[in-house]
């Protein structure tokens, strides 16, 4: 069995580099001390996110390919939420020395698949590899605004339409199933998770291998979105960020409690001026009002969604 510890960093990277997706914007990729990436309009969007074994994923439930796919997808979604087109990723991974090299190869294959499927032209231009007792993944993503202004959280105005692209509540349902039925003797179990994936493929896939609507971020910006963000901590919690930043209230209509509280959907929540056709896969789910906070059919919502320090809260209304 070939592990990271027995092979060594240089040999590991020599096996992984060919599996990584190249970025259309890269002028110099992995191999030197830093990559060189084009910024066509003189600016770039940048974001970073971490995934840590334990609070963010369980190896018994997530295959290495799934981890690579999700690590890329969640960062691509943050870039898209600014109205930008993803261009490049930098990936750092710290893993136990006994980790098999084919684990890292499958992880790299997941990164490639996510870029190819969700944002063709985006790729991995560099990163870092280190040793740690806890598997830790950190991804930094870059994006091109193509000459447009970024779509911020602070631009929503009363009268705007609130719309979402992507699924709501499925990822949380998948996580609920895994915690309820993917555990044997108090521990996450790979066989139980595999059986769940066969019985409930849609919510399990939504949790382990999300497919955010990356192209709809650019489409929303072109259509005139006034505010936008990635739905990662629950619809209600993320909507409160737009409401607070814009000094408005957001009222959802006909959205279920599970859809409001479910986290890790990685769809896009956006506000649009009234009367314009909604682009891509966006559908109206509410409206922007005078006032503060988040409401559901006129009733105020509090404490709903995911907080990495406090955990998940189903909220109240």
Residues annotated within a binding site for substrate: 56, 264, 306
Q: 């294959």: which residue's tokens? A: 109
Whole-angstrom CA distances from 239 to 168, 217, 253, 282, 293 are: 13, 16, 13, 15, 9
Q: Which residues are annotated as a binding site for Mg(2+)?
A: 33, 47-49, 78, 128, 230, 233
CA distance 170 to 207: 7
Q: In what side-by-side order are the strands of the sheet with 299-307?
A: 227-231, 267-272, 161-165, 283-289, 249-252, 293-296, 299-307, 311-316
Whole-angstrom CA distances from 288 to 85, 164, 229, 253 are: 27, 13, 15, 11
The dihedral over CA atoms of 225, 231, 234, 238, expressed in degrees to the nearest 10, equals: -40
Q: 């291998």: which residue's tokens? A: 209
Q: Which residues are annotated as a binding site for ATP?
A: 127-128, 153, 232
Is 26 in contact with 123 (CB distance < 8 Å)? yes
Q: Which residues are annotated as a binding site?
A: 33, 47-49, 56, 78, 127-128, 153, 230, 232-233, 264, 306
Q: Which two tokens stand for residue 25?
A: 């914007």
CA distance 16 to 163: 40
Number of neighbouring beta carbons within 10 Å of residue 213: 21
């Amino acid at each position: 069995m070939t592990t990271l510890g027995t092979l060594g960093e240089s040999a590991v990277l020599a096996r992984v580099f060919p599996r990584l997706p190249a970025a259309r914007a890269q002028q110099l990729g992995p191999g030197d001390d830093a990559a060189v990436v084009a910024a066509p309009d003189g600016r770039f969007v940048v974001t970073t996110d971490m995934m840590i074994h334990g609070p963010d994923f369980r190896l018994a439930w997530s295959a290495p390919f799934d981890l690579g796919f999700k690590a890329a997808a969640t960062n691509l979604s943050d870039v898209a939420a600014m109205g930008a087109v993803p261009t490049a990723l930098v990936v750092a991974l710290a893993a136990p020395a006994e980790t098999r090299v084919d684990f890292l190869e499958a992880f790299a294959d997941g990164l490639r698949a996510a870029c190819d499927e969700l944002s063709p032209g985006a790729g991995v231009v560099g990163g870092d590899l280190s040793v740690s007792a806890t598997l830790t993944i950190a991804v930094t993503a870059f994006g091109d605004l193509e000459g447009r202004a970024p779509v911020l959280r602070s631009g929503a105005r009363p009268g705007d339409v609130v719309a979402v692209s992507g699924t709501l509540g499925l990822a949380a349902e998948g996580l609920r199933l895994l915690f309820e039925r993917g555990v044997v003797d108090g521990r996450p179990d790979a066989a139980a998770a595999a059986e769940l994936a066969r019985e409930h493929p849609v919510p399990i896939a939504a949790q382990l291998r999300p497919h955010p609507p990356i192209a709809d971020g650019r489409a929303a910006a072109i259509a005139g979105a006034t505010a936008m963000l990635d739905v990662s901590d629950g619809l209600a919690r993320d909507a409160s960020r737009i409401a607070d930043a814009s000094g408005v209230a957001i009222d959802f209509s006909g959205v279920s409690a599970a859809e409001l509280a479910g986290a890790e959907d990685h769809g896009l929540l956006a506000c649009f001026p009234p009367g314009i056709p909604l682009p891509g896969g966006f559908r109206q789910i509410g409206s922007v009002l005078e006032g503060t906070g988040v409401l559901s059919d006129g009733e105020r919502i509090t404490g709903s969604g995911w907080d990495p320090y406090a955990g998940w809260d189903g909220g109240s209304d």
